[in-house]
Amino acid sequence: MYIFQSRSILLNKYKDSNTIKNFIDFSDPDADWSYITWLKSITKLPIVVKGVLTAEDAIAAADAGASAIIVSNHGARQLDSLPSTIEALPEVVKAVGRRIEVYMDGGIRDGTDVYKALGLGARMVFIGRPALWGLTHDGEKGVKKILEILKKELDNAMGITGCSKLTDINQDRVVHESYYARL
C-alpha cells in the first residue's frame, strides 16, 4: 500500500519529470530478471545489480547477464530487519564464485571494514557516510582526509596480518561469525 501511495504522490507532484517516471519504472515490485536482459539489449555498458542479499538473487542476477552485483541493504532504510551487508557477503560470493564481480555497499566506517569486506570476497566497496562526514566537516579537503585515513587503516590492517598486496587478503585472515561455527 505504501509503495503505491508513494508512486501516486510522486507521479502527481512531478508529472512532467522523466527522471521520476524512470525511477518508478525501475522500482516496480513486479520487476523480474528479464529487465537485465532487456537492458543488455539496449546498451553495451556493464549492468550492475544493487540490493543483492541472498545466494538465490546473486545466481539469478548472474544467470540474467549482470556484469556485477552490489551486496547492499540500502542502509537498512527500507526494511530495518535486513541482514547487514557483511553478513550477507560470504553467501553471495560463494554462490556466484568468479562468474561475476561482487561489490559491497554499506557498513564501511573504517579501513578494517574495507579489509573484512575484501577478505570475505568483495572486489570493491562503496563508501558513503565517512565521505559525507568529511564533506560536511571540510568540503573536498575533508573527503580527501577521510579517504587518506581509510587507506592508512587498511594499510595497517594489511601489515598486521602479513598482507603486502590486496590480493593477499582472504577469508582465512578474517574472523567472521562463521569462524566460530567451526569451533
Looking at residue 181, its pLDDT comes to 67
Exposure of 25 in the CB half-sphere (CA atoms within 13 A)? 8
Looking at residue 31, its pLDDT comes to 72
On whether residue 174 sits in a domain, the answer given is: yes
On whether residue 39 sits in a domain, the answer given is: no
Question: Using an 8 Å Cβ cutoff, are 51 and 79 in contact?
Answer: no
Looking at residue 79, its pLDDT comes to 56
CATH code assigned at 122:
3.20.20.70
Other beta carbons within 10 angstroms of residue 83's beta carbon come to 14
On whether residue 36 sits in a domain, the answer given is: no
Question: What grid cell was written down for 142?
Answer: 575533508
- Residue span of the structural domain in which 160 resides: 46-181
Looking at residue 17, its pLDDT comes to 55
On whether residue 14 sits in a domain, the answer given is: no
On whether residue 127 sits in a domain, the answer given is: yes
- Give catalytic status of residue 137 as yes or no: no
pLDDT in tens, the chain (183 residues): 233 334 454 455 545 555 545 554 555 666 788 889 888 999 999 999 998 999 999 999 999 999 999 999 866 555 566 788 999 999 999 999 999 999 999 999 999 999 999 999 999 999 999 999 999 999 999 999 999 999 999 999 999 999 999 999 999 888 766 666 666
On whether residue 13 sits in a domain, the answer given is: no
Q: Which of 7, 74, 173, 176 is catalytic?
A: 74
Question: Using an 8 Å Cβ cutoff, are 149 and 133 in contact?
Answer: no
What proportions of the chain, in percent to the nearest 5, are helix, strand and coil?
60, 10, 30
Domain count for the chain: 1
DSSP 76: G
On whether residue 74 sits in a domain, the answer given is: yes
Question: What grid cell was written down for 173?
Answer: 585472515
